[in-house]
Amino acid sequence: MSSVVYPSTFQSKSITISAPRTLQSGAKQAYLNYGGERLVMQTAVAMSSPFGLNSFQSQNGVEYSVDLSFRGSDNRPELQEFKRVLEQMDELMINEGVKNSKAWFKADLNKEVIKAFYTPSLKYSKDKEGNVLSYPPNIKVKLPKRNGEWDTKFYDLNGSPYKGVPVEDLIVKGTQITAIIECGGVWFAGSKFGLTWRAKQIAIHKLPEKMGEFAFKGLASAPVAMAEDADDEQEVDDEAVFKSASAASSKPSAVAAMMPQAMQQDDEVDDEDGDDIEPVPVPRKTVIKKKVVPAKK
């Protein structure tokens, strides 16, 4: 693996980008190097995962990623430093797009057009109109698999690898992690382009507390309600209750008595909140069959 670059020592002038090559799928890709090697960089320490493990379907099957949030960057210099690195890289990529627009997009394009084409590494949430929302930005990092095994290595803070623990239990909403990430190069899809980031190593700082199997407290000291004696219990006759309810509903109310007779009809009611109301049993209909007497010949 290439030597790890830290945000404090990052220099954008050390980045070089190769000419794009066409893959078998028809997509284009370009290599991005840092000082002649692949760019491998450590993120800021203890970045929060706001969504946990993400999965998405691609032409290569199911792929996984994790978003790392810059929440709290106003008070954490190391987050500000890593954020500045990504801002520099995004600006560099836009400038490279302008400089190479003829080779990359077969047209001479200005900076505003290239900026619209570019998918930034530092992602801000936007509304439907494209306005930036007041949420901290994220960086999306892929977690690659090879032959069904995770290519990313997961460690605790003592440097011991996690064994036998599903990644789904490590990368959950609220997990705090530090990652060693590698730039996979520049991708091109139609007029769009951007950078791919892959996690080589992840250190787990803190997992959110899980709810225990029995999470109640204070049950022993709570007062216990006394049950009524069995002799006081009465069995309820459902049919009698229904007859009583039917008899009560058959009596016209004062308002109904004042209404014209034509208005007093049984309308079908669509009860949208039927789950909150216990239904009244519907009685079986009595069918009276008429006796048919054959006509005399």
Q: Which two tokens stand for residue 31?
A: 């290599």
Whether 274 maps to a domain, the answer reads no
Whether 245 maps to a domain, the answer reads no
Whether 215 maps to a domain, the answer reads no
pLDDT at 207: 81
Whether 104 maps to a domain, the answer reads yes
Q: What angle do CA 245, 251, 257 make, to 5 degrees?
A: 145
Whether 190 maps to a domain, the answer reads yes
Whether 289 maps to a domain, the answer reads no
pLDDT at 165: 92
- CATH number of the domain encompassing residue 50: 2.40.50
One-letter identity of residue 47: M
Q: Where do we find the tokens 């949420």?
A: 135
The answer to whether the beta carbons of residues 185 and 89 sit under 8 Å apart is no
The answer to whether the beta carbons of residues 53 and 66 sit under 8 Å apart is yes
pLDDT at 254: 42
What is the rounded distance in angstroms from the CA atom of residue 267 to the CA atom of residue 270?
A: 10
Give the helix/strand (H/E) hosting 247. Answer: helix 238-250
How does pLDDT run along the chain (297 residues), one tens digit per residue?
A: 689 999 999 999 999 999 999 988 888 999 999 999 999 999 999 999 999 999 999 888 899 999 999 999 999 999 999 999 999 999 999 999 999 999 999 999 999 999 999 999 999 999 999 899 999 999 999 999 999 999 999 999 999 999 989 999 999 999 999 999 999 999 999 899 999 999 999 999 988 777 667 778 777 766 665 545 545 444 445 444 444 444 444 444 443 443 444 333 333 333 333 333 333 333 444 444 555 555 555
Q: Which two tokens stand for residue 79?
A: 């987050």
Count how many domains the chain has.
1
Residue 131 domain boundaries: 4-206
Q: What's the count of helices (H) and strands (E) in the chain, helices before strands?
A: 6, 17
pLDDT at 271: 36
Spatial CA neighbour of 1 closest among 46, 28, 27, 38: 38
Whether 76 maps to a domain, the answer reads yes
Q: What angle do CA 176, 64, 12 make, to 5 degrees?
A: 70
Q: Which two tokens stand for residue 60?
A: 């290569």
Whether 169 maps to a domain, the answer reads yes
